[in-house]
Structure 1
Amino acid sequence: MPVQNRIVKVQKRNRALVTFDPGRIRRAILNAARSIGGFRQDYLPHINGRLFEACPTDEELADFLADAVIVCLNSDPHHLITNFPPTIEEIQDDVLHVLRSYGFQNTADAYACYRWGRHWLREGAIRPEQFMGNGFPTAILERELAWARPLGCHTVAGLNEITRSGRWRPVVEEALARYEASLDEAARKVMARLNAGDPLRMLWISGPSSSGKTTTTVKLTQRLEREGLRFLMLNLDDYFWSLVEHPTDWINDRNYETPEALDLQLLNRHLLDLLEGRPIEKPIYSFKEGRRVGTKTVRREPDQILLLDCLHGFYPPITEGVDPRSQFRIYIETLHPLYEGDGSTGRLTAFTDVRLVRRMLRDMKHRAHRPLLTLLHWHYVRAGELFSIIPLMGLADHVINGGFPFDWPLLQPWFLGPGALWPRPEELEPYAGFLDARIRYERVHALLRSVEPISFEEAARLIPGDALVREFIGGGTLPIPHNE
């Protein structure tokens, strides 16, 4: 479909002006779709179904979406001035806007992750072999599938059969044993670095929201303390800016998920001081008051390793000036591959959806935060992790899978059983135009309804008190130390 285009130039990152090539937009969109298996991964009959009918092939869909980007670019009269054309970053922003506006959420995520991965390559923060592409660690997923297939826990239909036949115990035990073995391997790597003479003084446990960082931090440090290591844990939440410095959006929400929500300059200076043995005046943040209420003197002893559990632990500005040899980085994500239905559609359930439901439960239980608010906030979570978490996964010295085949059956009763926590449709009505929330709502709700639950009583018998999922469902026996 022809569209009017009056843009003739594009401003590159070095500010040079070059000829505008609409074909590059089309190719970028098509490549993002193909990287996840095609646009059908985003097919939503009541949202973009008519678009799929009008554009039956991926190539035709890419043509339409690229034209929509061009329309958006032309809508800004500033872009029509010869010396002030759109920048590369503005074009990429409009690509994401168009993809998300038409419900192509998975394609948009792949595009965003690739975009920011290329950014970190240009910045020199990662090497080419550490580039994560669309964010899917293929080798890890193939390894996890090779384990899950023989057990039949790689599809929703398989999970339901395990539930009906009462065969969860061996699956739970083997899954938890693999997680513990991965922690053992991480501890061995840390000790190997130290024994090789590396001046290791900083241990990061990083990963997206609700991936299991807290439990992983505790379990790993227990192993390392048995090896004689000593730690100083620094609570990075104390470096949040005050509420008055966090602007609210159209639904009175704030973006705490970007690394810039933290006072990065102060944090970086404090890390450098601690590594050099100098004391710091660490801020004390009151979430009740939404501001810093004081400071506390903290000093690292010469034999202590700084322990940091942080969403954005790999974000380069935080560790600017820190010797890479002094750092060990662990990345954790919910990486259990699970296909919808019997697997015949070839559509994987989203790792982010597991974490969304985990966080809904945690926010409700520990923060009196309604699940609807967590759902409405999740676009901030996703934008933050696609910018400064997932694209930097390649920096990890060790990757841990914090996802398990029993996640969905175990979490389901909290949301669809008696006293269900899942938001009612009428609760979402005031936000009918918020397509991101609507897509997540319908997708996760459908998945929850397709899963046969593990009852609370059965869960109490199956899941040990120190299991990672206890971090979210409660009943844990693992001592969680107070952060310094």
Structure 2
Amino acid sequence: MPYQLREITQALAADPADFMAQCDQQYQQRVRKAAETILKRMKESPIVLLSGPSGSGKTTTALKLEEELERRGVSTHTISLDNYFKTMDRSTAPRTPEGDIDLESPQLLDMDLLDETFTKLTRGEEVIIPKFEFSRQMRNDARGRPLSLGPNEIAIFEGIHALNDDIAGRHPEATTLYISARANILDGEALRFKGTWMRITRRTVRDLNFRGTDMTTTLSMWHNVRRGEKRYISPFKNRAHIIIDSSLRYEVPLFANYAFALEAALKDLDPRNPRWKELHEMVASFRYFPTVDPALVPASSLIREFIGGGSYHYS
């Protein structure tokens, strides 16, 4: 369901802190409902697969699910599928149509190891969760950690390809979730901000704050990210038992604080980039929104995954 710009503006003018807290409470309620579904399906499988496109808030949502399940007495382990990347062989790595290594491709994951991991965990057997070192672009099995699941334990595996045929498709008994910022913002009937724009804004700010990637670089990759989503992620969302909308009504006013930085970054973006026009439209759309003080964002908010200063630890 879309949000209305007028309602957002009025709520922020009246009491921004209260409005933002309400938005986060509404998201927390979505997480609670998802946790209830997971509990109902525990007898089917102790494996939970959480997928969603870049910038959807998968990591924070997985941690929030872990909290909700722990409150209900279920011991929960959250594992990033990033650790199942294979050490890359550039000679055989999948390529984009432009000839670059396709970093969005599921072929980079060790599907056979994941299959074995799910099977053994379901049987109560011990597995070694691998560790992928991004600084060296290689999997370091020596840094892996053991894991086994007892009768009242769950493992949440989160990553963009979790619902892929070679992952969820091999284990249809697993509980599956799909998360994305799905709500557009309208001004009456006029579209002011797309849900997909929320995700690229989140990713651009996060990459700048925590991954040492300048905004121009992240924006320049967006066309390949979107292409990968359409090929490798979106086609499998109907496999999800649970679909969660991670958009928050106050987040565009929050990210409006970065509008000038984003505009400056676009000046260095190659005009031949397939998303050049759309990205300029996105940045121009921030003019419709008031700004809100980032200090008012609750510490436990999903948005803290992207701007920092939150209560969750992201390894």
Deviation at 1:470, TM superposition (A): 0.9
Structure 2 residues without counterparts, runs of 5 or longer: none
Partner of 1:285: 132
Per the normalisation by structure 1, the TM-score is: 0.59
Partner of 2:120: 273
Partner of 1:402: 246
Where do residues 134-283 of structure 1 align in structure 2 (5 Å cutoff)?
141=1, 145=2, 148=3, 154-155=4-5, 158-163=7-12, 165-194=13-42, 198-245=43-90, 246=93, 254-283=101-130
Q: Deviations over 1:119-158 (max 9, x none)?
A: xxxxxxxxxxxxxxxxxxxxxx2xxx4xx4xxxxx13x55
Amino acid at match of 2:154: I
Q: Deviations over 1:149-189 (max 9, x none)?
A: xxxxx13x5544555x3443443233222111112212222
Higher relative CO (Cα under 8 Å, sequence separation at least 6) belongs to: 2
Distance 1:249 1:396 in 2: 27
How large is the RMSD of aligned CA atoms in angstroms?
2.6
Is residue 50–residue 158 contact of structure 2 (8 Å, CA) maintained in 1?
yes
Q: Equivalent of 2:272, from 429, 433, 453? A: 433
Partner of 1:475: 309
1:298 aligns with 2:146: yes
Deviation at 1:408, TM superposition (A): 0.9
Is residue 207–residue 310 contact of structure 1 (8 Å, CA) maintained in 2?
yes
Q: Which moved more, 1:377-386 or 1:238-247?
A: 238-247
Where do residues 312-461 of structure 1 align in structure 2 (5 Å cutoff)?
312-322=161-171, 324-325=172-173, 327-339=174-186, 342-345=187-190, 347=191, 349-416=193-260, 420-428=261-269, 431-436=270-275, 438-455=276-293, 459-460=294-295
Q: Deviations over 1:401-427 (max 9, x none)?
A: 2101111110111232xxx35444541
Distance 2:292 2:99 in 1: 37
Distance 1:391 1:159 in 2: 32
Partner of 1:97: none
Distance 1:190 1:468 in 2: 20
Q: Deviations over 1:57-95 (max 9, x none)?
A: xxxxxxxxxxxxxxxxxxxxxxxxxxxxxxxxxxxxxxx
Structure having the larger proportion of residues in strand? 2
Distance 1:433 1:453 in 2: 31
Paired residue total: 311
Task: Classify 1:413/1:252 alpha carbon distance in 2 versus 1 (closer, same or farther; 3 Å).
Answer: farther
Task: Classify 1:365/1:425 alpha carbon distance in 2 versus 1 (closer, same or farther; 3 Å).
Answer: closer
Structure having the larger proportion of residues in helix? 1
Distance 1:328 1:281 in 2: 22
Task: Classify 1:400/1:375 alpha carbon distance in 2 versus 1 (closer, same or farther; 3 Å).
Answer: same
Partner of 1:89: none
Task: Classify 1:218/1:432 alpha carbon distance in 2 versus 1 (closer, same or farther; 3 Å).
Answer: same
Distance 2:97 2:50 in 1: 33
Structure 1 residues without counterparts, runs of 5 or longer: 1-140, 149-153
Q: Deviations over 1:249-290 (max 9, x none)?
A: 698964222222212223223322332334444433211111
Deviation at 1:236, TM superposition (A): 1.7
Q: Deviations over 1:211-235 (max 9, x none)?
A: 1111111111111112221223333
Amino acid at match of 2:304: R
**SS of residue matched to 1:358:** helix
Amino acid at match of 1:343: G
Deviation at 1:330, TM superposition (A): 2.0
Task: Classify 1:383/1:439 alpha carbon distance in 2 versus 1 (closer, same or farther; 3 Å).
Answer: same
**SS of residue matched to 1:317:** coil
Amino acid at match of 1:186: A
**SS of residue matched to 1:241:** coil
Where do residues 83-162 of structure 1 align in structure 2 (5 Å cutoff)?
141=1, 145=2, 148=3, 154-155=4-5, 158-162=7-11
Amino acid at match of 1:235: S
**SS of residue matched to 2:32:** helix
Distance 2:284 2:82 in 1: 35
Amino acid at match of 1:292: R
Partner of 1:464: 298
Distance 1:253 1:423 in 2: 26
Deviation at 1:394, TM superposition (A): 2.2
Is residue 330–residue 398 contact of structure 1 (8 Å, CA) maintained in 2?
yes
Is residue 253–residue 377 contact of structure 1 (8 Å, CA) maintained in 2?
no
Deviation at 1:321, TM superposition (A): 3.8
Is residue 125–residue 149 contact of structure 2 (8 Å, CA) maintained in 1?
no
Larger radius of gyration: 1
Amino acid at match of 2:147: R
Amino acid at match of 1:389: I
**SS of residue matched to 1:375:** helix
